[in-house]
Structure 1
């Protein structure tokens, strides 16, 4: 399995980070993409990525942090993007649910990171919450990197899924697909199929149903695989293999 969205550098893992990483093989984790949310955080993400051959990383500025960036933030991201371990730009995007940063700041910082991803031909890891229409408008109007990227923690309906897939993006599916009331996401999975899905935990957030209210971690990815296998009436192994192929093609191809 490949966990395409982790935050193992966050403080929630300070007590057992190295232990979790050391168990990746035992837990069936091929590799993880560790994701930064601002400049300093991206530097920490990169340092954690250097702890293991099974960790690569993404560097970027989350929409919540857009209000805090300096004018030259892209120049600093460029330096990080040149590092061998860096395989994507993000977590970037739009979050109109909480609006911690203004919509104007979010749009500007998002577009600048799209341009950076195109410059380095790195896929994007895109955060979208209550902003699918605007995110689509921006992405469809910009020249995108060849590999496009992932719509992280996809949470809308099939119509929006299809539109982003038609742009060339994959959908990140994690713990919420296991929640009993989330039939809408399971319906999206049923309709789009394995060709357009990568697995993610977003750990320490969004744990699967058996661990609701607790810290998430990569080994819990198996619950996501089990649910997807049930939805698609296929085997755990098929889901594991196909989603791993998608992740390898996107981040290591």
Structure 2
């Protein structure tokens, strides 16, 4: 049994075969999924899917790329949604310096406000980081995000930062890049992370794992991620699946936790 801790079945890439995609995941042994809503358009469908399927849950938050679009009412809306029985985390939030839609100061402000909300409601957070690691660390420390902890989503950074995130009460979630033949950083991280702080995800429809790289990703492929991590760590797939599932259950308070 596996948990895909971060995916986006609520985006347009799945409009034609969403139900079939979900069934393929169940058939592949992906028993639980977290669908992440990250703006006004994707949050409602994340909740709809969570309400429709017993083992699909939702995270709700505001993506840094869209930070410039967030208003006070949006944050109040997210706060209200954290009371929903199927919402298990706030996010994805963070910083993204690759795209230039939202200025860095605006991204940081929206990031800080969501951390404050998470602390207010006592809920873990899911962090998006693209080319902004040092600033991510600074904000997390300054806002005492350790109080709630959460997930460093689709970690694809230098392994040297892993101890810092672990010290701040975060789990490390690995996705498709750990299977890429030319990707050394996530492979190093896959071996370094303590097994009780490791999670797996797809970030579907993005970053499909080998041998599906370049195609649309989907939750069923989290099995390929788990198989690769098990190989790198020298452990069985069943053991890796069991431990990462238990980690997700405990952190997100789902399943049999």
C-alpha distance in 2, partners of 1:227/1:32? 19
Cα contact 1:39–1:59 (8 A) shared by 2: no
- Cα drift, residue 214 of structure 1: 0.8
TM-score in terms of structure 1 length: 0.96
2:59 matched residue in structure 1: 58
Q: What are structure 2's unaligned runs of at least 5 residues?
A: none
Distance 1:147 1:117 in 2: 7
Moved over 6 A (4+): none
CA distance in 2, matches of 1:138, 1:68: 20
3-state SS, counterpart of residue 170 of structure 1: strand
Q: Do the aligned partners of residues 30 and 46 (structure 1) sit closer, same or farther apart at CA in structure 2, a change above 3 Å counting?
A: same
The structural deviation recorded for 1:20 is 2.2
Contact kept in structure 1, 2:5 and 2:201, CA below 8 Å: yes
Q: Any conservation in 1 of the 2:30–2:220 contact (CA below 8 Å)? A: yes
- Within 1, Cα distance between the matches of 2:73 and 2:144? 21
Separation (CA, whole Å) in 2 of partners of 1:39 and 1:162: 34
Give, in whole Å, the separation in 1 of the partners of 2:192 and 2:240.
15
Write the distance in 2 (CA, Å) between the matches of 1:63 and 1:100: 9
> Hey, what's the Cα distance between the residues in 2 that align with 1:23 and 1:158?
33
State whether structure 2 residue 188 is matched by structure 1 residue 198.
no
Q: CA deviation at 1:115?
A: 0.8
Give the distance between the partners of 1:44 and 1:220, measured in 2 at CA. 22
Q: For the Cα contact (< 8 Å) 1:118–1:145, is it kept in 2? A: no
Cα gap change, 1:208 to 1:217, in 2 (>3 Å): same
CA drift at 1:215: 0.7
Q: Any stretches of 5+ residues in structure 1 without a counterpart?
A: none
Are 1:169 and 2:170 an aligned pair? yes
Residue-by-residue CA offset, 1:175-219 (whole Å, 9 max, x unaligned): 000000112211111122422210000000010011011111111
Aligned residues of 2:150 and 2:251 also touching (Cα < 8 A): yes
Distance (Å, rounded) in 2 between the aligned partners of 1:247 and 1:175: 18
Q: Specify the SS of the correspondent of 1:33.
A: strand
Tell me if the contact between 2:149 and 2:170 (Cα under 8 Å) persists in the aligned partners. yes
Indicate the residue corresponding to 2:33 in structure 1: 32
Q: CA deviation at 1:53?
A: 0.5
Per the normalisation by structure 2, the TM-score is 0.95
Conservation of the 8 A alpha-carbon contact between 2:140 and 2:146? no
Which residue number corresponds to residue 43 of structure 1?
Answer: 44
Calculate the aligned-residue CA RMSD, in Å: 1.3
Partner of 2:76: 75
- Cα distance between partner residues in 2 of 1:24 and 1:214: 16
- For 1:3, the equivalent position in structure 2 comes to 4
Paired with 2:70 and 2:91, the residues of 1 have a C-alpha distance of: 14
User: Where do 1:14-25 residues align within 5 Å?
Assistant: 14-25=15-26
Q: What do the CA deviations read for 1:128-176 (whole angstroms, capped 9, x no partner)?
A: 1111101101101113364411011111112111111111101110100
